[in-house]
Structure 1
Amino acid sequence: MTSTQDGSVVIFGSGLIGRSWAMLFASGGFKVKLYDIEQQQITNALENIRKEMKTLEQNGILKGSLSADQQLALISGCTDIKVAVEGAIYIQECTPENLDLKKKVFSQLDLIVDDKVILSSSSSCLLPSKMFVGLKHVKQCIVAHPVNPPYYVPLVELVPHPETDPSTMERTYAIMKKIGQSPVKIKKEIDGFILNRLQYAIISEAWRLVDEGLVSPSDLDIVMSDGLGMRYAFIGPLETMHLNAEGMLDYCNRYSEGMKRVLKTFGPIPDFSGAGLEKVHQEMCARIPVDPAHLAARRQWRDECLMKLAKLKSQMQAE
């Protein structure tokens, strides 16, 4: 993409997720207004974005066809909410995962937006029916849940309110595709959406296996990173089933009894506390000390790996 898009995008909140969204929309040629209540927050966010974009460009992994300077020129800060939403076609809320706070934000926006702008939340599991309750613009409301970090992981879950207009879903889907994300349409709201329901199921069984002394935390992570994770980076569990036999019917004929037998042995939901938590915490700290420098370095390594994987996947799919 070499030209800017019509209309602007507002990012409500300048934290980690908000900054990542701002970078994504700028990479797609959108003018971005980064809104926050304090100017210093915005100043810090813009500087963080500038540094990250320059680093990405130097490493050859900046998204979009515009240069870092061209993308940075598309992003501006604003502390006046009315000024921020003027001319906006899309608003992405990125405040902390607190229902009361998000309801307050959308109540504010509901009073000042027009009948065309899309009101979207980055919430990871709060139900749209609870967040958008009582809003006059509810038909324009939707959850667009990104995966952290959004700039490096393309999935976006689109979750409608029961009264969300179908056109809001379609328009949001098109915008996400335009900025290079991989949106999926959730047909109706469900607690935890899809990604976190799958993630929590994995975390729960992983925790039980470690807690019962069957495997160490580090070996458990290897099972995912060097096993299932490598497979699932390119194909999902249903396609895996289909390919690991002569189609889905054959797979279930072969393995369904074994799957049901094993699933019956799964234990109760862990409480993620006590001695089990301390054991996992100590081993993780031995691998990655809990201090800003070590965590930042590991996150940067993770993000670069994700970006390279995404590029490899795109290249392989194009072949």
Structure 2
Amino acid sequence: MMQVACIGAGTVGRAWAVVFARAGHDVHLYDAMEGEAAGRAMDGARKTLDLFSESGLLDESVETVLARIKPVESIAEAVRGAGYVQESVREDLDVKRAVFAEIALHAPADAILASSTSALPGSDFLSAIEHPERALVVHPVNPPSLIPLVELCGTRWTSPETIARTKEFMLSAGMRPVVLKKEIDGFLLNRLQFTLVAEALHLVGEGYCTPEDIDAVLTDGLALRWASIGPFEVAHLNAPDGIQGFIDRLGPMMRHLGRSARTDYDWTPEQIAEAHRVMTGKIPLSEVASRQQWRDSRILALRRMKQDLPDPLDE
């Protein structure tokens, strides 16, 4: 076990603290708002751990795991002696540069320094620190306490050893790391997600269907396959001669639909307002928190199912 530092105690930061504490690490949690943020973070961590316990996915007591998370009063105190640091502050280049300068100043020289950024290339704010070869982006899916996928993306300065160590550490913490071979805006998940959302806005905006129809196509259609296998394996299994045969037969249609899709669709404020009206009619804003709890329970139920029925190809 090692000491871990989480810098930023918002939704993502406190979720990371739960990940590391569940894995048995002592976590120092720091936020610039100090006491106020720390109180919310510990309350949020407890609720998440309660949910894990109720779902049968916690091997220890909630109190045991929660006791490993310690709010501290400075970045220096958080990172002193840490073997791994996860930054989760707001998406602002100047803020991240200042935060990482302080992290690098006080953290051990061999500590891995990771950023949770979902929009900013690591090269834009990790290059000027001491020993930039130990720094990289470790981009989670919000919240990482519930969703194990994490994207590892180094900069031109990140050493292969840092990538390898981070991947091993993430695996040991119960995460599912993928490694990007080079930097790209939005990383992998957001590029796929936002491309699909943009085409969904096009289909709804041009009157082909309703927002509820799009959600049904995903939850009762694509997601039932994608929860276990990805699009490449879907194609491979949908043809007796594998993905080559699938593309040989359906490739022309795929290219046509790709050309006609509108991932750059210029939606209007009125279209977004209408989508908002539809969604708040289904889920009033006053019920968002309870719906989030239901969503989180379903995510953990799916994780439990995947744990109980593991993929034999992963063994």
Establish whether TM, by shorter chain, passes 0.5: yes
Name the residue aligned to 1:303.
Answer: 296
Name the residue aligned to 2:235.
Answer: 241
Deviation at 1:174, TM superposition (A): 1.0
Call closer, same or farther: CA 1:168–1:206 in 2, change over 3 Å: same
Deviation at 1:272, TM superposition (A): 4.0
Name the residue aligned to 1:157.
Answer: 151
Q: Which amino acid aligns with 1:287?
A: K
Measure the CA separation in 2 of the matches of 1:113 and 1:151.
Answer: 24
Secondary structure of 2:96's partner?
Answer: helix
Measure the CA separation in 1 of the matches of 2:268 and 2:36.
Answer: 37
Name which of structure 1's ranges 267-276 and 157-166 shifts more when overlaid on structure 2.
267-276
1:41 aligns with 2:31: no
Measure the CA separation in 2 of the matches of 1:55 and 1:206.
Answer: 32
Deviation digits for residues 187-210 of structure 1 (CA, Å, limit 9, x no counterpart): 111111111111111011111000
2:137 to 136, 143, 146: 143
Q: Which amino acid aligns with 2:38?
A: I
Name the residue aligned to 2:125.
Answer: 131
Contact 1:10 1:91 in 2 (8 A): yes
Gaps of 5+ in 2: none
1:231 to 211, 225, 245: 225
Secondary structure of 1:317's partner?
Answer: coil
Measure the CA separation in 1 of the matches of 2:302 and 2:161.
Answer: 33
Secondary structure of 2:89's partner?
Answer: coil
Secondary structure of 1:44's partner?
Answer: helix
Name which of structure 1's ranges 107-116 and 85-94 shifts more when overlaid on structure 2.
107-116
Q: Which amino acid aligns with 1:15?
A: G
Contact 2:18 2:145 in 1 (8 A): yes
Deviation at 1:148, TM superposition (A): 1.1
Q: Percent identity?
A: 38
CA RMSD of aligned residues (A): 1.4
Measure the CA separation in 1 of the matches of 2:174 and 2:262.
Answer: 40
Q: Which amino acid aligns with 1:275?
A: E
Contact 1:62 1:68 in 2 (8 A): no
Deviation digits for residues 205-237 of structure 1 (CA, Å, limit 9, x no counterpart): 111000010001101110011101111111000
Name the residue aligned to 1:215.
Answer: 209
Call closer, same or farther: CA 1:194–1:318 in 2, change over 3 Å: closer
Name the residue aligned to 1:201.
Answer: 195
Deviation digits for residues 144-167 of structure 1 (CA, Å, limit 9, x no counterpart): 111012111110000101110111
Contact 1:147 1:154 in 2 (8 A): yes
Matches within 5 A, 1:259-270: 259-267=254-262, 269-270=264-265
Call closer, same or farther: CA 1:273–1:102 in 2, change over 3 Å: farther
1:258 aligns with 2:253: yes
Call closer, same or farther: CA 1:223–1:51 in 2, change over 3 Å: closer
Measure the CA separation in 1 of the matches of 2:296 and 2:107.
Answer: 35
Secondary structure of 2:83's partner?
Answer: strand
Measure the CA separation in 2 of the matches of 1:55 and 1:240.
Answer: 32
Measure the CA separation in 2 of the matches of 1:143 and 1:268.
Answer: 26
Deviation at 1:55, TM superposition (A): 4.2
TM-score, normalization by structure 2: 0.94
Deviation digits for residues 252-307 of structure 1 (CA, Å, limit 9, x no counterpart): 1110011112222123612443221111111011111123xx11111111111011
Matches within 5 A, 1:1-319: 5=1, 7-37=2-32, 38-57=34-53, 59-63=54-58, 65-245=59-239, 246-267=241-262, 269-291=264-286, 294-317=287-310
How many residues align? The count is: 310
Contact 1:126 1:191 in 2 (8 A): yes
Call closer, same or farther: CA 1:313–1:56 in 2, change over 3 Å: closer
Secondary structure of 2:309's partner?
Answer: helix
Contact 1:140 1:164 in 2 (8 A): yes
Measure the CA separation in 1 of the matches of 2:252 and 2:269.
Answer: 35
Measure the CA separation in 2 of the matches of 1:73 and 1:279.
Answer: 46
Secondary structure of 1:191's partner?
Answer: coil
Measure the CA separation in 2 of the matches of 1:143 and 1:115.
Answer: 18
Q: Which amino acid aligns with 2:308?
A: Q
Call closer, same or farther: CA 1:268–1:33 in 2, change over 3 Å: closer
Deviation at 1:86, TM superposition (A): 1.4
Measure the CA separation in 2 of the matches of 1:11 and 1:253.
Answer: 49
